[in-house]
Structure formats: structure tokens, C-alpha cells
A and B are shown apart, each in its own frame.
Chain A
Amino acid sequence: MSAYVWLWVAVIAAGLISWATKLAGHLVPQRVLDHPRALRVAAFTTIALLAALAAVQTLGDGAALRVDARMPALAVAAVLLWRKAPFIVVVVAAAGVAAGIRALGWG
């Protein structure tokens, strides 16, 4: 199969798994909520994956690591988040910082 078809398969598989996970929560007996270890691992999984995605998206370049315009953009995003700016403002500001730095010829 072509890469395009595989991407379709992946999109649909991700969608079915996402929905099935949500539905399972609605169907599972209440007593599962009494397992604090499972709840802790699940909460930490969200945090670990999002942090890893942020790091690799900012410093990864294929199989290499590279510091470029993305780094100062992420720093600005962190300051804005700390100042409780709305999500969309944070994302647009980060794009603007990286674009501005690249327009000046670096990164």
C-alpha cells in the first residue's frame, strides 16, 4: 500500500482507539476508580507524553538535535503561559518569534 493509504489507515485506527477508550470508561464498573496506582500512572502518562512532544518538537531535527529559532520561541511561550495568556496567544506568539528570528537570517 502507498504511504498515503497507510496514513489513512492510521487516522482511522487512531480515531477508533480514541472513541473505544472513551466508551470503555463509561462502561467499566465503578470500582476501577479505587485503584489509585492506575489513576496516577494515567495522569503521569499524559504529562510525560506532552512534555516529550514539546521537547522533541522544539529541539529535534530528524535524528539530530538542533538549537535554532524554535528555542527562543518556546521560551517566550513559557513566559506567556506563566503570565496566564490564552492558549491561542501563546501559539501565535511562538510562531511569530520563530518567524521573526528566521526573517533576520538565523535559525
Chain B
Amino acid sequence: MAGLGIVRLTPVRQQAVSVSLATGAYGLSLGALAIAAGLDLWQTMALSLIVFSGGSQFAFVGVIGAGGAPLAGVVTSAFLGVRNGIYGLTLAPILRPMRGVKRAWAAQVTIDESTAVALAQPASDPDARREGFWWTGVGVFIAWNVAVLAGTFIGSSIGDPSTWGLDAAAGAAFLGLVWPRLASRGARLVALSAAVLALALTPVMPAGIPILSAALVAVAAGWREPSARDNPSPQGEMPA
């Protein structure tokens, strides 16, 4: 579909457009899941436009859909967004100087994908890195929000979401988001312990709290000095 146009773009822009389209595609599932979780169209679009970080949005919708309190949804999505702050730190020297509205926009589109494409360009070519960041950030912003809107119509036209396996799709979405981050043994241990802890706490704590408690595993695991092979990549290797 992007066929002829895309080959005329520079390699950085080609990467940006492909990543944007691929990421946008799973905005469809977010839109459908948000409606299934009980958000209305406007709430879903507000979430998508202003939170604008896939993991945080899936988390918010997941907690609400499971019957958790709105506050638990906010806190879970906030913790998942912490990594975007670190991306901002990493990108700031590349993107400076920026001020005012431009900086506000750069912050909003600071996500896994824009960071990954920017940092995939050679450090010796700061222009390519900037171009990768902006093209991917804005590209994903457009594709994602259009796809979420389309997803809401799917979500509201199918009746009981579990008949269509949407509950299972949400679990698969979280697995797909965490999968690329499991390259190291330490990361896999953290994932497994967090999953076990959250499941163990589910029968005894209000919805949403077991998931937040899993963050304690991250603090415990990250506190000590890792051996070289345990070290997780702070960038995350792939989109989320």
C-alpha cells in the first residue's frame, strides 16, 4: 500500500514510515479493547491522543477492564511511562536546541518507536537521528490515533467481547509488548517473578494492586549490580 511512494524516500524516512504503519496497525486492537473495557469513544480518543504511549494505554485499559479502580489504572500507566522519561534524557542532546511548543511536541512523541529509529542512525550523523525521531514520532502519532479510532468502531459493533476472544487478545498484546525486552536472563527472571507475584496476590487484593506490586520485583532486581549477561537494555530493543 505504501509501495511506490515509499521507495522515493530517504532510508531514514522509509524506516520511519514502515514503523509508523506497523505500529498503527495494533492501535486497532487498543481501540477495540478500550471499548470492551467500558470506555466510550471520546474517552478512548482522549486516552490515545494525550497518553500516547502504547504500553501505558494497554495497561490503563487492562486495569479498568478487569474491574480495577480508575486510580489504579492511572498509577499503572504512569509507572509504565517512566521509560519514556529515560528516552527523553537520551534524546535531549540529539534534539537540542528546542524551546516552547516544539519541545512540548518532542516530549509528546518521545516513545519506544521514535527513540529506536533515532538511535538506529549512526551517532556520526545527528541530522539523520533528528529526522528519524521526528518522522517516526509524528508518523506513529497519526497512524496510531487513526487506527485507534477505527478500532473503537470494531469494538462497539461486536457485542460480548469474550465471544471474539478480545480478552485473550489483551493478554497476547501484553506478551507481545514484553517479548522483545526479554533478551537477557535477568529480564526473563524479572518477568517470570512479576507474573507469579501478581497472580499470587490476585485473590487477596483489590484489582489493579497485584499488578502494581509486581513493580517491587523490578526494584529488587535492579538494585544490585548485575553480572554482564544479566544487564537489560535501558532502551528496550523494540517498539511497544
**Contact B195 A74, beta carbon cutoff 8 Å:** no
- What are the residues of chain A within 8 A of B181 when measuring CB–CB? 43, 46-47, 50
Is B153 in the interface zone, CB < 8 Å from A? no
**Contact A21 B46, beta carbon cutoff 8 Å:** no
Q: Which of A17, A26, A39, A52 contacts B234 (CB 8 A)?
A: A39
**Contact B190 A18, beta carbon cutoff 8 Å:** no
- What are the residues of chain A within 8 A of B193 when measuring CB–CB? 48
**Contact A43 B236, beta carbon cutoff 8 Å:** yes
Question: Do A51 and B199 contact each other (CB < 8 Å), given the known contacts A15-B47, A26-B103, A73-B171?
Answer: no
How many chain A residues sit at the interface, stated as a range, is: 35 or more
Quick check: which of B1-9, B62-70, B118-126 contacts chain A, the rest being far away? B62-70
B-side interface residues, number (CB < 8 Å): 110
CA of A74 to CA of B110 in the docked complex: distance in angstroms? 30
Q: Which of B38, B80, B107, B179 contacts A19 (CB 8 A)?
A: B107
CA of A22 to CA of B95 in the docked complex: distance in angstroms? 14
- What are the residues of chain A within 8 A of B213 when measuring CB–CB? 52
Instruction: With a 10 A CB-CB cut-off, give which of A27, A43, A73 has the most chain B CB atoms.
Output: A43
Q: Shortest beta-carbon distance, B223 to chain A, in Å?
A: 7
CA of A33 to CA of B232 in the docked complex: distance in angstroms? 15
Interface of chain B, main secondary structure: helix
CA of A39 to CA of B207 in the docked complex: distance in angstroms? 28
**Contact B222 A44, beta carbon cutoff 8 Å:** yes
Q: Which residue of chain B has its CB nearest to the CB of A74?
A: B171
**Contact A47 B84, beta carbon cutoff 8 Å:** no
CA of A92 to CA of B239 in the docked complex: distance in angstroms? 18
Is B60 in the interface zone, CB < 8 Å from A? yes
Is B50 in the interface zone, CB < 8 Å from A? yes
**Contact A59 B175, beta carbon cutoff 8 Å:** no
Question: Do A23 and B168 contact each other (CB < 8 Å), given the known contacts A39-B86, A87-B22?
Answer: no
- What are the residues of chain B within 8 A of A92 when measuring CB–CB? 29, 169
Is B41 in the interface zone, CB < 8 Å from A? no
B interface with A by C-beta (< 8 Å):
22, 25-26, 28-29, 38-39, 43, 46-47, 49-53, 55-56, 58-60, 62, 64, 66-67, 70-71, 73-74, 76-93, 95, 98, 103-104, 106-108, 110, 162-179, 181-182, 186-187, 190-199, 202-204, 207, 210-215, 217-219, 221-223, 226, 231-234, 236, 239-240
Q: Which 10 A-B pairs have the closest CB atoms?
A: A25-B88, A15-B50, A98-B165, A10-B70, A94-B172, A98-B168, A41-B222, A52-B214, A44-B218, A95-B165
> Could you name 14 residue pairs across A and B whose Cβ atoms are closer than 8 Å?
A7-B64, A11-B51, A14-B56, A21-B84, A26-B95, A26-B98, A45-B215, A46-B82, A51-B174, A52-B198, A62-B66, A87-B25, A87-B173, A99-B163
